[in-house]
Structure 1
Amino acid sequence: MLLALLLAAPARAQEAPFPRSVVLPALQQAFTAIIERHLESAAPADMALWSLRGLGAVDTRLGTEVSNGRMRLSIDDRLLLEQPVPLSVPVPPPPGRPGPRQSSAEEPAAEALAGLLTRFYGAAWAASPLLQRAGTERMLQAGFDELFNHLDPYSRYVTADEALQARERRVGQSSLGLRLAAGRRGTVVIASLVPNGPAAEAGLREGDQLVSIDGYPVSARYITDAAELLEGLAGTEVTLVLRRGNQRHTVTLLRSAAPARALRVERQEGILWLRLTAFSSHTTETLSAVLNEAFAEPQPPRGVVLDLRGNRGGVLSQAMSVADAFLTGGPIASSLGRHPDSVRAWTAAGTDLSHSRPLVILVDGRTASSAEIVAAALSDRGRAAVVGSSTLGKGLIQIVIPLSNGAEVLISWSRVLAPQGWPVQGLGVQPTICTSLGLESVRMEMAQLSNGHAPRAAVLARLRAARPPVPASEVAALRATCPPAEERELDSEVAKALIDHPRLLATALSP
């Protein structure tokens, strides 16, 4: 009997049934949001092609092409399925206003795309054991990854596990005193460190490449996974492998019980230095308390430096209220997208907590998102001089769309506009005084200020005249006037000089 069993042909593994009841509603919900709300519109044939080509990341034998209005899916050059693709997207009616009743021949675009892709996904699933082993979530993620690669750099599909963990745990990077960012060629790097945090105390440096976390390799494509791996209970350890130059380092960090401080305050020679490393839910409350206390003293500060270098952003509403803390009224920012609900304006309504004292903002090439919004608002309004280099240029707002499978899609649905109407996305903030070109360039710009001329007035005027969509050539040309760079001591020296000499600051702020 044993010999018979050994000689018997191996049984074929049972094919896993295609999870149509999971895939179809998730695709329909996601594409409904993308078609109606994403900042950019795309042809349905393109969206179908991009999504289906994403499956090749799971099984490289799968191939997709569109020709003469028909989509073809093959595996190892064997045709699996051929179907016509929709050629146009019905324009959805404005919210709250019913549109014309659609017949079955005018099936809504999201339903048509979801149905089409479900059929193709099913054919790929049946032919690919690799796809079956990867599972439904990986299949959906691969399709959306490729789709969003063509739409914008920040929209993404969040798996059910990721979404659950993000909702349940909010420790992670902040408890280690570091923030991650995507680096060159798909790497993950340390974007910023909190002074005296566990990572800084262990000798980590900004720019270090993160190779693995607790033995798991990391990549920029799945940077959220890397952030999730950093999360954990206070008092537990995490082991990082880092690359610095040609050397590798292994570091074990202890997760801190206390949340990392996002605001560092110093008082030097009558100047209040505020180093803000992130925008959390309590940033404005903390900053306001510091400003109120400082300006209630018998000898209040004669100037304020708001240091946003390395600040990668955070809570959008906090950016608006931080800018409001230095303004007495008027516009802070606005947002604009295809969907009517994406159009919004933020206006200052409070009092200037710095009592109109001279204000300088420090930025660098890592300053991003909410930090850029603050710098752009205060610069455009003539409230602050900006010192440093071109910032990152991340000015898109995302919304979260929950899906029936527990996952989420994060969709970029509007772009942030500075008070004078130019888009932060791509362009970033241009400084009033550029330090990234070196000491001699700074000396020349400061000399022009002394002679009553704002050295970068023409560049700032060109920036503020830009309107979306800004040609890539114009983006590159403007950013080349002050290339992105990491922070340097020269930034602080220029900031102090501007506050020490109010006439220079007034010239720098002149239109």
Structure 2
Amino acid sequence: MKRRRFPVIILRPMGMGGESAATWRRRISTLGHIPRDTFILLLIIARLTTAACADDTPSPPRSPTPQPPVQEGSVDTAEGAGMDLAVISSVMQASLAFLQPRTLENYQIHDFALWGLNGLSALDPSLSIEEQHGFLQLTATQKTVLALPVPAADDVPGWSAAITRILDVAWHHSPAMRSTGADGVLQGFFDELFNHLDPYSRYIPPQAAVSDRNTRTGGEATAGLTLGMDHHTIMITAVNANGPAWPTTLAAGQIVRAINGRPTESRSLDTVNAWLNGPAGSLVRITVEARGRQTTVALHRASTPPETVFAYTSGKHVVLHITAFSANTAEEMSQYLDEAMNVPGLSGLVIDLRGNRGGVLQQAVTTSALMLDHGVAAITQGRDPQANHVWAVQGGDMTNGLPIIVLVDGRTASAAEILAATLADQKRGVVVGSATLGKGLVQTIGQLPNGGELFVTWSRVLAPLGWPLQGLGVMPQVCTSLGEAALDRQLQDLAEGTADSKEWVTAARQVRYPVELSHILTIRKACPAAIGTDSDLDAAYSLLDNPVEYRAALTTIPEEESGPPSGG
């Protein structure tokens, strides 16, 4: 049965002003309820002027990214393509301007520039950059070939010009650089620069950036069909719930006979897939055959994000496996939850986040709102005022308080950890599995004039109770990585009203940023990270089938503190 579209209304964010996160948590708890059939997600964001807070979601710079000027000064050599100095200059200016106000720690343009220029030595060991007596000196084979005055520490145009000039001169003196090519030179510059920051900040070159954007947004417009071959016959094997084919009669198992009147017989799968693609909004007519009868369906192509939610029923339980958080994950979840509530005798939901590496932060927040009446979902804190958000939700719990189990493992990361932490801290679900990865840093994305992208970490994530996700991760309330005997003992104790995990869960909730690594490792040792197994599902079903166990596991979460979380 095809899923009904569930309405979601996004309200304009309201400024948090100078009030603390704890004040907002108390205020949200007093908000009235909104009917389920008009579910509303309310994002309360501090001083937000652009929708910039995201985990792997594009964020425009405060001013428009400069476009490359008319090509001039490009250098052609016998080895490889020339280096377009106009493009190099515009990329440097855009990237330095984007980095400076956004990084978690306060660095000067001077720092970024010298870090990146040191990448020349990785491309060609005969090259080196030194700052001496107010000059930047470029040395090639132990001979100074260029000396430039050091620009002011935060002079973006000055440093952009200096970097471009240095790269130009180095290019002429280095066959290794010329063989690497201009794209390789930029990659080397940014790789060395980001080596001085965190593991998640990075430069994505143009071709890879296009691929990444297509993954997030759906890329080229298509019909939303997956095709396959069966004895030289092209068939529909899947219909993407996010695509334009979903509301139609097209279904898996139908034979594809023609696209826009062109027969598919004797055509390759690649050819027919290419026929399905085209400009967004354009019309495509698909002729299919099922049970000896042919029909033609006309639809308008659209960009189709990949499906990220998959569901199945196991007895009295519905399992929802979320593989990632892309542009449509929350809407997919709302559709599945709507159907799940019609399952006869449903006793609980299992949200499987094992192996989920994250994705769009807003999608994790919106997904949590589908299962919460109101409350804080997450808090993000950074140096840039636009990174400081309290992500709060008010809506309608589509499940009417149905018990929820969240499965996690050592590969669960980022936005997936945010969802798990939110449901646990709000006592809306019980987390089962092992310690998660612990990626609690949020990236914002700047698009560069050459088509590349900068992923820059600009905020830390705090769970609703104020503890940091970075490094610590989510500690489960029922641990499955200690072996079957330990798991059986935990479940037996829960059935008697005692939670073995209370000590490590409480210890994790008491952590505040900054925290010593040794302390984090001590907490995580209580339930070490591991890859999920069938024991996770067995434990989930046991908790859902035994309300006493479930309620006992919920009690491991301490009550909310009255004061705001520290850090920032």
Q: Does 1:476 align with 2:525?
A: no
**Aligned residue for 1:316?**
361
1 CA distance for matches of 2:403 and 2:550?
8
**Cα distance in 2 for residues equivalent to 1:61 and 1:459:** 53
Alignment match, 2:500: 455
- Indicate the residue corresponding to 1:363 in structure 2: 408
| Per-residue Cα deviation, 1:189-235 (whole angstroms, up to 9, x for no partner) | xxxxxxx99xxxxxxxxxxxxxxxxxxxxxxxxxxxxxxxxxx9875
Q: Give, in whole Å, the separation in 2 of the partners of 1:73 and 1:234.
A: 55
Q: Which moved more, 1:260-269 or 1:306-315?
A: 260-269
1:117 equivalent to 2:182? Answer no
How far 1:72 sits from its partner (Å)? 4.4
> Are the structure 2 counterparts of residues 233 and 158 from structure 1 closer, same or farther at C-alpha, using a change threshold of 3 Å?
farther
Match of 2:553 in 1: 508
Verify the 8 A CA contact 2:80 2:181 in the aligned structure 1.
no
- 1:452 offset after TM fit, Å? 3.0
State the match for 2:427 in structure 1.
Answer: 382
Note if contact 2:369-2:395 (Cα within 8 Å) is conserved in structure 1: yes
2:180 counterpart residue number: 134
> Which residue in the other structure is 2:326 paired with?
280
Q: Matches of 2:359 and 2:101 in 1, distance apart?
A: 26
Structure 2 residue 139 is the aligned partner of structure 1 residue 74: yes
| Cα distance in 1, alignment partners of residues 485 and 346 from structure 2 | 30
Residues 120-129 or 346-355, more deviating? 120-129
> Offset at 1:483?
1.8
Cα distance, 1:306–1:406 mapped onto 2, change above 3 Å: closer
Deviates more, 1:44-53 or 1:412-421: 44-53
2:212 is aligned with 1:151: no
TM-fit CA distance, 1:29 = 1.6
- 3-state SS in 1 of match to 2:94: helix
User: Once the 2 structures are TM-superposed, how far is the Cα of residue 319 of structure 1 from its aligned partner?
Assistant: 1.0
Q: Deviations over 1:382-432 (max 9, x none)?
A: 111101111122222222222233332221211222111222222221111
Q: Tell me what 1:353 maps to.
A: 398
Pick from 263, 268, 273: which aligns with 2:309? Answer: 263
Task: State whether residues 423 and 429 of structure 2, in contact with CA within 8 Å, keep that contact through their aligned partners in structure 1.
Answer: yes
SS of the counterpart of 2:164?
helix
**Contact 2:96–2:109 (8 Å) recurs in 1:** no
After superposition, the C-alpha distances for 1:349-375 in whole angstroms (9 at most, x for unaligned) are 111112112111000111112211110
CA distance in 1, matches of 2:133, 2:536: 57
Superposed CA deviations along residues 303-362 of structure 1, whole A, max 9, x for unmatched, are 111111111222322211111111110111121111111111221211111211211100
Asked if 1:49 corresponds to 2:114, the answer is yes
Q: How does 1:179-258 map to 2 (within 5 A)?
A: 235=273
TM superposition shift of 1:261: 4.3
CA contact 1:423–1:467 (8 Å) conserved in 2:
yes
Query: Is 2:451 the partner of 1:406?
Result: yes
Q: How many percent identity over aligned positions?
A: 39
CA 1:233–1:392 in structure 2 vs 1: closer, same or farther (change >3 Å)?
Answer: farther
Per the alignment, residue 32 of structure 1 pairs with 97
8 A contact 1:15–1:126 mirrored in 2: no
Matched AA of 1:418: A
Cα distance in structure 2, aligned partners of 1:176 and 1:480: 44
Distance 2:403 2:271 in 1: 43
Q: Is the 8 A contact 1:294 1:300 kept in 2?
A: no
In the superposition, relative to structure 1, how do residues 109 and 418 fare at CA in structure 2: closer, same or farther (>3 Å)?
farther
How do residues 330-345 of structure 1 correspond to structure 2 at under 5 angstroms? 330-345=375-390
Describe the shift of the 1:81–1:294 C-alpha distance in structure 2 as closer, same or farther (beyond 3 A): same
- AA in 2 matched with 1:330: G
**1:18-58, Cα deviation, whole Å (9 max, x unpaired):** 64322223212211111111122235554333211222332
Match of 1:160 among 169, 181, 206: 206
Task: Find the counterpart in structure 1 of residue 154 from structure 2.
Answer: 108
Contact 1:175 1:260 in 2 (8 A): no
1:465 to 506, 510, 514: 510
Q: 1:18–1:126: 8 Å Cα contact kept in structure 2?
A: no
Where do 5+ consecutive residues of structure 2 fail to align?
1-76, 228-236, 239-269, 275-302, 559-568
What CA distance in whole angstroms lies between the structure 2 residues aligned with 1:501 and 1:51?
58
For normalisation by structure 2, the TM-score amounts to: 0.65
**CA RMSD in angstroms, aligned pairs only:** 3.2
Separation in structure 1 between the aligned mates of residue 226 and residue 468 of structure 2, nearest angstrom: 33
State yes or no: 1:430 paired with 2:475. Answer: yes
Please give the alpha-carbon distance, in whole angstroms, between the structure 1 residues aligned to 2:515 and 2:159: 30
d(CA) in 2 for partners of 1:436, 1:125: 53
C-alpha distance in structure 2 between counterparts of 1:490 and 1:15, whole Å: 56
User: Is the 1:324–1:348 contact (alpha carbons within 8 Å) kept by the matching residues of 2?
Assistant: yes
Q: Which TM-score applies when normalising by structure 1?
A: 0.72
Alpha-carbon spacing, 1:109–1:468, altered in 2? closer, same or farther (3 Å): farther
Q: What is aligned with 2:126?
A: 61
> Which structure is higher in RCO with an 8 Å CA cutoff and minimum separation 6?
2
Matched position secondary structure for 2:465: coil
Which deviates further from its counterpart, 362-371 or 403-412?
Answer: 403-412
Partner of 2:537: 492
Cα distance between partner residues in 1 of 2:189 and 2:319: 47
How many residues matched? 407
What's the CA shift for 1:149?
1.9
Change in 2 beyond 3 A, CA 1:164/1:276: closer
